[in-house]
Amino acid sequence: MIWLTWRQFRTQAAVVFGAIVVILAALAATGPHLAQVYQSRGNRFLDGVGGLDTDLYLISALALLALPALVGMFWGAPLVTRELDAGTHRLAWTLTTRTRWLVAKLGLIGLAAMAAAGLLGLAVTWWAGPIDKAIAAKNGAPGPGFLLFPRLAPEVFDSRGIVPIGYAAFFFVLGVTAGIVVRRTLPAMAILGVLFAVTQITMSMAVRPHLTAPDRVTTTISNHNMLNINMFNHVTVTIDEPGAWLASQQTIDAAGRPAAVPSWLVNCAARSPQERQACFTKLADLGYRQQVTYHPASSFWATQLRETVIYLGLALALAGLCTWWVRRRLSR
């Protein structure tokens, strides 16, 4: 069964691993130079980041974000439905048991998906190491058009460390599950796409913030730390915690209750530096402060490990469901 599964799967594997090899070659060619520049520039490293480095930073992050979805849609969803449509599953079930047939497919292709995601994820983590270190240390300002995210931020967290392995395993088996239940390839692929988006949002907003204990700080709102103010007079600030992920924040008044800042603060942006400073001094005198909940940079690997374990556990549970469904619910 392993040999037959490989024969059926080798074309898709060649396409994906071929694309990964191209990305790895680009990372290997530019990574040593990036590390050398980081060592030589020190505190001004980010000032010189741009051009090809920016492109690779974004392309690698997008590739790792898309890889689990593509694996689930094009490897997972058709895995069983293709056999059902062609009727080849009947022949296979005369040669071996349903369980061994499915386990061979899940094991071989699942391991290939995990290897692809793990290889690319660790390569990107190595290549982006100087950039992540500089962001965490605030070594300079980013070049024009460069998007600056600490590696704990949802925008890049999925493209670092070991968590891509868990993502690939889970979405591959989720695609298989959708295909087995729906028994149609295209609807299963569409369902997987929707579930991928929902899972990503749910994990980053509702689950990941609770994987490690956050820290909290209450700070005054100043001209130096305020990032923006929206139409509802709610402000966001930055804090002096390099590399931290700001999970949530709210403004409180002198009594410690959640509140919006006074509307006159909006007009301060167009005033002179002295007048803006007077606005923030008045705001502090009125007792307005900002409560910030954040995860420090040091919690990165603990969060990575726990999230990976969650996804691998879910993948195993779905694999068990697939096995039961094939044995009990699928007819010849």
Q: Are 178 and 192 in contact (CB under 8 A)?
A: yes
140 has a pLDDT exceeding 50: no
290 CB neighbour count, 10 Å cutoff:
22
Tell me the one-letter amino acid at 64.
L
37-76 per-position pLDDT tens digit: 888 876 677 776 767 888 888 888 899 999 999 999 999 9
The answer to which of 101-115, 169-183, 265-279 has the lowest mean pLDDT is 265-279
Strand-strand pairing, 289-295 and 235-237: unpaired
Report field, pTM of the whole predicted structure over 0.75 = yes
Residue 266 vs residue 282, higher pLDDT: 282
Q: What integer best gives the mean pLDDT of the chain? A: 87
Q: Which pLDDT does position 112 carry in this prediction?
A: 94
Q: Say how far apart CA 273 and CA 156 lie, in whole Å.
A: 35
Q: Which pLDDT does position 68 carry in this prediction?
A: 95
- Mean pLDDT, range 98-122, rounded to an integer: 92
